[in-house]
Amino acid sequence: MKTLTLLRHAKSGWDDPVARDFDRPLNAKGKRAAAMVGRHMRSLGLAFDHAIASPAVRVTETLEQIESGYGRTIAPAWDRRVYLASAATLLDVVHGFPAETQSVLLVGHNPGLEDLVLMLVADGADPLRDAVEDKYPTASIAELQFDAGSWEDIGSATARLTRFIRPRDLDPTLGPDAD
């Protein structure tokens, strides 16, 4: 069995005057949410034998905060293909995971992560899938399990969505901002 955990970067600062989207940092709420998600990951006993991530600043800062709560170093392989990748590109990345790995963390961006979940999990009466389809918020985790012997065997409708954790599920103050 293979387990793929998808983590969307935490909330970034749109008001930060960076020249490139790639360089956009987290805002204070994003830092707080990522640290809380890291603590929750630790409480669940989540462990990964491989990690891969977009090298964008908001992803690297998300992982720093996740690690502070998680209590472990994640040390991902940084892969530029993950930056703003489509679901199809992300699936190509998944197909290239080392054969011996069983549990992988993939850290990136939307809409690619959300679209990947919706591609890999069959449409049906699944409240977790419905929640992902409704919105895959920043700093959220989706855990997918596959009855596959190889990462290359993973394709459309082959996953079970076993967890979908949003920061607001852990702390309501981390939910959407009220306008």
pLDDT tens-digit readout, 55-107: 999 999 999 999 999 999 999 999 999 999 999 999 999 999 999 999 999 99
28-44 vs 57-70: helix axis angle to the nearest 10? Answer: 50
Judge whether 41 and 74 are in contact, CB under 8 Å: no
- The answer, yes or no, to whether residue 13 has pLDDT greater than 60, is yes
Query: Do the beta carbons of residue 117 and residue 144 sit within 8 Å?
Result: yes
pLDDT score of 16: 66
Asked whether residue 25 carries a pLDDT value surpassing 70, the answer given is yes
Distance of CA 111 to the CA centre of its chain: 11
Domain positions in the chain are 2-13+21-173
Angle at 128 between CA 70 and CA 121, to 5 degrees: 100
Whether residue 50 has pLDDT greater than 50: yes
pLDDT of residue 18: 74
Residue 15: its pLDDT value, please?
75
For residue 179, pLDDT beyond 50: no
Among 73, 117, 77, 109, smallest CA distance to 96 is for 77
Q: What is the pLDDT of residue 29?
A: 94
Supply the DSSP symbol for 32. H
**Over pLDDT 90: what percentage of the chain?**
89
Residue 12 CA to residue 15 CA, distance in Å, equals 9
Domain 2-13+21-173 CATH class label? alpha beta
The token pair at 116 is 């990947």
Assign 110 to helix, strand or coil: coil
Residue for token digits 């969505």?
161
Per-residue confidence (pLDDT) for residue 175, from 0 to 100: 81
